[in-house]
């Protein structure tokens, strides 16, 4: 184990058609992992990630198992190729489930079915077209929170992802999100951009989904994490299983405290981070969250080899 090493797992938005194709051509373990997930789900997940249709891959109940499986395929490959075990794991939103699989808290088969259900419940909680999310760039957190409070007017809008200093995502009902975007621009935000998502994640509109999701979470065969895990809701290491499950449900309607999570890792000496998943979304965020943090990637053969060489 490397005391300075933490693995961080990405959430939705990291998916793309053809993801991990080059790595799969070289390492059968990638395809084996997707086959294991496909058996649990009852459809060919690898085929969906490679051939689409893209609109289907981008449906949240398909996106979530796809990213989780890709992340765990890379995690398994890292260990198989002699990579060091990290001192900590963390995941951004959906990525928390990947982190839980990596930490040994649940099996891949259970996890993909769990996040498929999570996606279905999130979609059902808010009818299409009624919820929205937007990224606010270049504004202090306090100003974003103030804009949301002013914009609500009896509807839901709140800051839901504290991704990096100066990058906050808001979510809620369509009209309230639009009002908050306008207020943020007036307050001096560099940009306020609607996000192309089908559900307003991590806001109060998702509480009904969390209540319905509780049964699914309770049915999993849980084990205590074998690697300390920093959770989104608390931005702290949680080892108590009941608290961990409770925070996992709260995560559906409470903010992702990513800045504080990265700062918690750094404060514990984990400054070498590996983004274990498709894409490079977290690498761009992490460097702005805490001084002295370096994020490596595993998403291509070259990136994988370079990371393995750097951290061997």
CA angle 168, 117, 233 (to 5 degrees): 35
Structure tokens at 305: 């080899």
Q: Which of 171, 215, 213, 210 is nearest to 194 (CA)?
A: 171
Catalytic residue among 202, 216, 234, 261: 202
Q: What is the distance between the alpha carbons of residues 28 and 279, in angstroms, rounded to a whole number?
A: 20
299 φψ region: left (φ > 0), alpha (ψ -120 to 50), beta (else): alpha
CB-based contacts of 149: which residues, under 8 Å, 6+ apart?
Answer: none
Q: Which of 71, 93, 198, 261 is catalytic?
A: 93
Beta strand pairing call for 86-91 and 229-230: parallel
Q: CA 192 → CA 135, 144, 169, 202, 233, distances in Å?
A: 6, 11, 9, 18, 24
The residue whose two tokens read 């459809």 is 43
Using CA atoms, how far apart are residues 20 and 277, in angstroms rounded to an integer? 9
Q: Which residues pair with 286 in a beta bridge?
A: none
Per DSSP, the residues of 22-59 read: HHHHH-HHHHHHHHHHHHHHTS-HHHHHHH--HHHHTS
Distance CA 93, CA 172 (A): 17
Whether the CB-CB separation of 73 and 20 falls below 8 Å is answered with yes
> Residue 221 burial by CB count (10 A; 0-12/13-18/19+): exposed, middle or buried?
exposed
Active site residue 92: no
DSSP 205: G
Return the active site residues.
Answer: 93, 202
């Amino acid at each position: 184990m490397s005391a300075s090493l933490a693995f961080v797992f990405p959430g939705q938005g990291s998916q793309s058609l053809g993801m991990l194709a080059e790595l799969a051509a070289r390492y059968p373990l990638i395809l084996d992992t997707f086959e294991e997930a496909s058996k649990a789900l009852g459809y060919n997940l690898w085929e969906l990630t490679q051939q689409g249709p893209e609109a289907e891959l981008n449906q949240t109940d398909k996106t979530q198992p796809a990213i989780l499986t890709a992340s765990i395929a890379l995690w398994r490959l890292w260990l198989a190729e002699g990579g060091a075990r990290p001192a900590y794991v963390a995941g951004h939103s959906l990525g928390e489930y990947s982190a839980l699989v990596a930490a040994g808290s649940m099996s891949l088969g259970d996890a993909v079915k769990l996040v498929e259900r999570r996606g279905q419940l999130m979609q059902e909680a808010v009818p299409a077209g009624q919820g929205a999310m937007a990224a606010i760039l270049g504004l202090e957190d306090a100003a974003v929170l103030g804009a949301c409070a002013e914009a609500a007017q009896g509807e839901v809008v709140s800051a839901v992802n504290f991704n990096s200093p100066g990058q906050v995502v808001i979510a809620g009902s369509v009209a309230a999100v639009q009002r908050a975007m306008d207020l943020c621009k007036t307050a001096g935000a560099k940009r306020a951009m609607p996000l192309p998502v089908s559900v307003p994640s991590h806001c109060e509109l998702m509480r009904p989904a969390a209540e319905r999701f509780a049964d699914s979470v309770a049915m999993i065969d849980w084990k205590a994490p074998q690697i300390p895990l920093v959770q989104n809701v608390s931005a702290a290491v949680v080892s108590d299983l009941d608290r961990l499950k409770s925070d996992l449900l709260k995560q559906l309607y409470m903010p992702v405290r990513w800045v504080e999570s990265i700062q918690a890792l750094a404060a514990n000496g984990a400054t070498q981070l590996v983004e274990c998943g498709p894409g490079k979304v977290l690498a761009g965020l992490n460097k702005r969250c805490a001084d002295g943090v370096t994020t490596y990637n595993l998403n291509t053969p070259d990136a994988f080899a370079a990371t393995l060489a750097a951290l061997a």
